[in-house]
Amino acid sequence: MVSENSSSVTEFILAGLTDQPGLRIPLFFLFLGFYMVTVVGNLGLITLIGLNSHLHTPMYFFLFNLSLIDFCYSTVITPKMLVSFVSKNIISYAGCMTQLFFFLFFVVSESFILSAMAYDRYVAICNPLVYAVAMSPQVCFLLLVGVYVMGFAGAMAHTACMVRLNFCANNLVNHYMCDILPLLERSCTSTRVNELVVFIVVGIDIGVPTVTIFISYALILSSILRIRSTEGRSKAFSTCSSHIIAVSLFFGSGAFMYLKPSSLLPMNQGKVSSLFYTIVVPMFNPLIYSLRNKDVKVALKKTLSKNSFS
């Protein structure tokens, strides 16, 4: 059914990040380096959390899944992007739709897991006496299920709307990956339904987590300001600062790309701005959480000392 009704093309050509030949090799090594840092950072954080029992808490349970999402998220995008720097980057229609689905699944999942992490910090700081009950293993599991259900629902909504379109003979996609907006540009049928779905679904996937995070941190800030001791206030701010930086990078760049009229953000500029949430955020998240987190530093020292002793 898909091959008969959805598309008149069997493959797409991904234009890549730049059409300047002199920039391709330097950019290839730059983004290869970014990808290696992303893989090592996220897999390293996953390993540290898994090996150290004192990190088996709700906060690190969600951080474990954030790192897993970031690793998978980057792996869906970056290897194919690297190809565009060294050769003609051709992707099959089925491969393009698959990449679109998994990209959306992981990006939506990340937005909701960041909101779950904000709720966890709210309970830990504002209601510490009920933290063990409010963030029990059962509650954490249900929150995580909700994160992945929202990711699946968002990805299915966009991908199902995309496969119903017919694509024109000009199959050059002005992007380094199969994303919603550049694919809509290649459609030779009406995209009104798709645009409505983008507006509604992206609005939910950015709006709901953003409101949750904003309310959580407003309450956290109010609670912190009531702490009398400077040391206690500093510790509370330190606990939340890493998460605030990660959230700002992710939601700021995502909203800038998807919630602006396309006339105000040409695709050439759009694909550059999309680097922040597709490449930069998955790379920086483990660095932010490891460099600014005392527990992770202690776990790293313990793990390294055990290996040295062995």
Q: What is the pTM of this model?
A: 0.87
Kindly state the average pLDDT of the residues 31-43: 94
Does 288 score more than 70 pLDDT?
yes
| Cα 57 to Cα 54: distance, rounded to the nearest angstrom | 7
Amino acid sitting at position 309: F
Specify the range with the lowest mean pLDDT, choosing from 206-220, 248-262, 267-281.
248-262
**Of 37-41, 89-93, 170-174, where does mean pLDDT reach its minimum?**
170-174
* Mean per-residue pLDDT, 129-141: 93
6-15, 25-34, 119-128: least confident range:
6-15
- Average confidence (pLDDT) over 79-105: 92
pLDDT beyond 80 at 44: yes
Domain that holds residue 88: 2-309
The mean per-residue pLDDT over the stretch 233-255 comes to 70
Task: Report the amino acid identity of residue 298.
Answer: V
167: three-class secondary structure by DSSP: strand
CATH number for 269 = 1.20.1070.10
Identify the weakest region by mean pLDDT among 1-15, 26-40, 204-218, 243-257.
Answer: 1-15
- Rounded Cα distance, 275 and 206, in Å: 18
Residue 101 has pLDDT above 60, yes or no: yes
Lowest mean pLDDT among 108-112, 118-122, 213-217, 238-242: 238-242
Per-residue pLDDT for 264 more than 60? no
Based on the structure, what is the number of domains in the chain?
Answer: 1
- Rounded to whole angstroms, how far apart are CA atoms 310 and 304? 10
Count of CB atoms situated within 10 Å of the CB of 68: 17
